[in-house]
Amino acid sequence: MASLLPAQERPEILTDEAKDRRIAELEADNRRLCRIRDALIVRVESGAAHKPEPYAAFEHSVILAEQVRERTEALNLTMDELKASNLALERARQEAETTRQRLSDAIESIADGFVLFDHRHCLIQSNSRFRSYWRHAGVEVPAPGTPIAEVKRQAVVSGLIVEEQDNPASEGTVFLLSNGRWVQMTERPTREGGLVVLYSDITDVKNSEMARRIKALEESERWIRVVTDHVPALIAYVGADLTVQFCNKVYEAWYGGSDEPLLGKPLKDVHDPVLYQRLLPHVREALNGTSVNFEFEETGARGECRYMLRSYVPNISSEGRVLGFFVLIRDITDRRKTALALEQAYDNLERRVKERTAALTGLNNQLRQEISERAAVEARLRDAKLEAERANLSKTKFLAAVSHDLLQPLNAARLFTGALLEHSFGPRAEALVRSVSTSLDDVESLLGTLVDISKLDAGVIRPDVTAFDLRDLLNNIAREFRQMALAEGLQLDFVPSSAVVQSDSQLLARILRNFLTNAIRYTGKGRILLGCRRCGDDILIQVWDTGPGIPEDKLSEIFQEFKRIRPAGAQPDKGLGLGLAIVDKISGILGHDVTVDSVEGKGSVFSVRVPCGTLSPRREQGETTDVVPADHSLGGARIWVIDNDHAICRGMQTLLEGWGCQVLTAVSLEHLQQQLDPLTADADLILADYHLDNEQNGVDVVAAINDARSHPIPVVMITANYSNELKQHIRELGYLLMNKPVRPLKLRSALNHLLRAH
């Protein structure tokens, strides 16, 4: 009887199993109490047989009745608690069922595929979206209790997963399913050690990404075609199936005899059968992975007969398979005619010498001199032929080859004209040399513009943002363009500034040069102003002009490629309409705002907004600036020139010797060692090209020299590579860096600076 539970104690509701166990215990207690009650009643009734005393019997009956009443009340209370527990249990069952149904409805409402695994990573529940993946592929859906490893294995083996991509930038693994949809799998652990897996449909995102990539490829191909169409050579690409897959306009004009395009045509249909048979052995060599160079005479589609120099460069994949070959054809008819004319002149000269030996004895020395000169011309022509053949060999992709190979002869021409300008040949000859120099400036500008716009579109150019003083940059640009303005009868005013800005000095200078070039080009008379003003935390650099102005509806067009707004009656210019397009792209890379305000008939103002900066305590070295050289003689300076291009070596030697320097040229480290001992010989400066033959570069060659010397020789590194990585590498080595084509004034300034510093 003492084991009965007090009324204030309530059974704890945990789970269905615990509740059932508690009900069974209460029912057992109830049965036990009933048995006790019945035993007490029997005992009371059987006690009368002993005939106790009346009072004792009455007292005993009263006690038993009180005990029965107490136990009955306790039993009633227990029964009430049992009923309450049953009601609570029923409510808990209903709430659990409702919660389970709500969870199931919530899982079904998820647009993504949903799978729930327990702490043992066995499948518990999944929604219909997940199960639809399996049904669409005709595969049986994994049953509850299936381990996660088995689920993954069945998905791969059954073909449900076609492709798997692991992208570190994304949150989970991406799968391509058999129904053509892309899903991204994301896993999240639960507090009980289980796992929730979501499969999100990202097909639209993948399609958008693919569309952007296709558009970028099409844009890149368009710019490659723009560049190749302006190159005076026949350029094409032939696939392994011998079909023409790419050609420029010059190639199509030479071989395209009809309006039918050449793209996709077999090579045997492009060429005359006789010509094709002559080309076939060289084509087979290229398809075997060998670079081929050869020349012979051929006739074009319009019947014109020309002598062509051909280069076939195989395109080899990373697996070593030949995918096709690049075709580069140059017209060398004039050079061939010149060589034949020289050969005929030489033969005639020999014949005349034999016939007139007796009569022209006094002129013998003069004739020998002429023969020597002609032999020298022949040697130069042979060297030029070898240089052209080397320039035609491309071991990298075409755009890089164009930007590098065309800058090489342009650099040599710049050095030769710079050397000629150092001498006095009379007013007429000097005018011709300056005309050649001006033409080279135009070629450099056009080529640089086309290459820059291609690099900007391809994302090759990356800014090198640092804090610097505007003083030198603006002074140099103003000095450079003041002479150009005076030549056009214009006045260029300049307001100096010592503000410190945060930008890439070279790219910012390119923006300002394009502003000033346009101002000089389109301003007929009046003045141009270069200056800057502070605008909050920024500096506003502006170029004002008194030109014809720009119509308001054309202000946005001027920044588009190949768009030029030429006022009525204005003379045509030689630009491509890419200057402001380059400004727009550079400003986007730097994050600088470019604006233009204009009033027709009064003029325009172009502005670029640059953030202010703070100078670091130490000024980094490694770059040259365009400054006017001081009146300092280079006489006696011992300079070594290392460049794999013989023409550039000769041009650099001619220019430097004109400045009084002692020059030694070499095409490689081995060539230099054949002439002297670079470890002990005295030298004041090394001019080295970065790109050399046989997989060598100027940095390694200079390091091999200076590492073994007690006192390193100062170095100027010259290259056609404009990448920030190379610029930073050269800067860390402590060398001065100059980009091709080299300007003689800039080179002389750099030499004066280095020689004075050492």
Q: What is the pLDDT of residues 647-682, one digit of tens each?
A: 888 888 888 888 888 889 998 889 888 998 888 888
Question: Are 196 and 295 part of one and the same domain?
Answer: no
Query: What's the CA gap between 398 and 223, in Å, rounded?
Result: 12
**DSSP letter string, 655-720:** HHHHTT-EEEEESSHHHHHHHS-TTTS--SEEEEESB-STT-BHHHHHHHHHTTSSSPPPEEEEES
Question: Are 470 and 604 part of one and the same domain?
Answer: yes
| Statement: residue 4 has pLDDT above 80 | no
Q: What is the pLDDT of residues 461-502, one digit of tens each?
A: 677 888 998 888 888 888 888 888 888 888 889 888 888 999
Question: Are 95 and 124 part of one and the same domain?
Answer: no
Give me the mean pLDDT over the 18-35 stretch.
79
Domain membership of residue 618 (yes or no) is no
Q: Which of 84, 107, 130 is at the close of a domain? A: 107
pLDDT at 273: 86
pTM for the whole structure = 0.36
pLDDT at 171: 67
Domain membership of residue 384 (yes or no) is no
Query: What's the CA gap between 29 and 630, in Å, rounded?
Result: 115
Domain membership of residue 297 (yes or no) is yes
Q: How confident is the model at residue 313 (pLDDT cuts 50, 70, 90)?
A: very high
Question: Are 467 and 603 part of one and the same domain?
Answer: yes
Domain membership of residue 418 (yes or no) is no
Question: What percent of the chain is modeled with pLDDT above 90?
Answer: 6
| Statement: residue 749 has pLDDT above 70 | yes
Question: Are 469 and 601 part of one and the same domain?
Answer: yes
| Statement: residue 120 has pLDDT above 50 | yes
Q: How confident is the model at residue 168 (pLDDT cuts 50, 70, 90)?
A: low
Question: Are 96 and 115 part of one and the same domain?
Answer: no
How many domains does the chain contain in total?
5
pLDDT at 561: 55
User: Distances from the Cα of 381 to the Cαs of 126, 317, 369, 415, 559, in angstroms?
Assistant: 80, 36, 18, 19, 45
Question: Are 599 and 466 part of one and the same domain?
Answer: yes
Question: Are 93 and 139 part of one and the same domain?
Answer: no
pLDDT at 559: 66
Query: In whole numbers, what is the pLDDT of the chain averaged over residues?
Result: 77
Give me the mean pLDDT over the 536-540 stretch.
89
Question: Are 523 and 652 part of one and the same domain?
Answer: no
Q: Which of 611, 646, 679 is at the close of a domain? A: 611
pLDDT at 578: 59
Question: Are 102 and 114 part of one and the same domain?
Answer: no
Q: Which of 182, 201, 220 is at the close of a domain? A: 201
Question: Are 466 and 606 part of one and the same domain?
Answer: yes
pLDDT at 422: 63
Residues with Cβ < 8 Å from 489, sequence gap 6 or more? 525
Residue with tokens 């008819």: 333
Q: How confident is the model at residue 12 (pLDDT cuts 50, 70, 90)?
A: very low
Nearest to 717 by CA among 694, 705, 704, 734: 734
Domain membership of residue 453 (yes or no) is no
Residue 490: how many CA atoms within 13 Å on its side-chain side?
25
Q: What is the pLDDT of residues 500-519, one digit of tens each?
A: 999 988 888 888 888 888 88
Query: What's the CA gap between 417 and 477, in Å, rounded?
Result: 23
| Statement: residue 195 has pLDDT above 70 | yes
Domain membership of residue 356 (yes or no) is no
Q: How confident is the model at residue 621 (pLDDT cuts 50, 70, 90)?
A: very low
User: Which CATH number does the domain housing residue 245 bear?
Assistant: 3.30.450.20
Nearest to 499 by CA among 542, 529, 467, 523: 467
Q: What is the pLDDT of residues 83-92, one digit of tens each?
A: 887 787 777 7
Question: Are 653 and 690 part of one and the same domain?
Answer: yes
Residue 399: how many CA atoms within 13 Å on its side-chain side?
19
Domain membership of residue 571 (yes or no) is yes
Give me the mean pLDDT over the 184-205 stretch.
84
Q: Which one is predicted more confidently, 335 or 467?
A: 467
Instruction: Give the distance from CA 569 to its chain's centroid.
Output: 43
| Statement: residue 14 has pLDDT above 80 | no
Domain membership of residue 710 (yes or no) is yes
pLDDT at 206: 79
**DSSP letter string, 201-237:** E-HHHHHHHHHHHHHHHHHHHHHHHHHHHTSSSEEEE
Segments forming the whole domain that contains residue 693: 638-757
Q: How confident is the model at residue 314 (pLDDT cuts 50, 70, 90)?
A: very high
Please return the burial class of 194, using the count of CB atoms within 10 Å of its CB with bins 0-12, 13-18 and 19+.
middle
User: Which CATH number does the domain housing residue 532 bear?
Assistant: 3.30.565.10
Query: What's the CA gap between 579 and 585, in Å, rounded?
Result: 10
**DSSP letter string, 38-71:** HHHHHHHHHGGGG---HHHHHHHHHHHHHHHHHH
pLDDT at 359: 65
User: Which CATH number does the domain housing residue 730 bear?
Assistant: 3.40.50.2300
pLDDT at 324: 92
pLDDT at 312: 92
pLDDT at 441: 61
| Statement: residue 563 has pLDDT above 70 | no
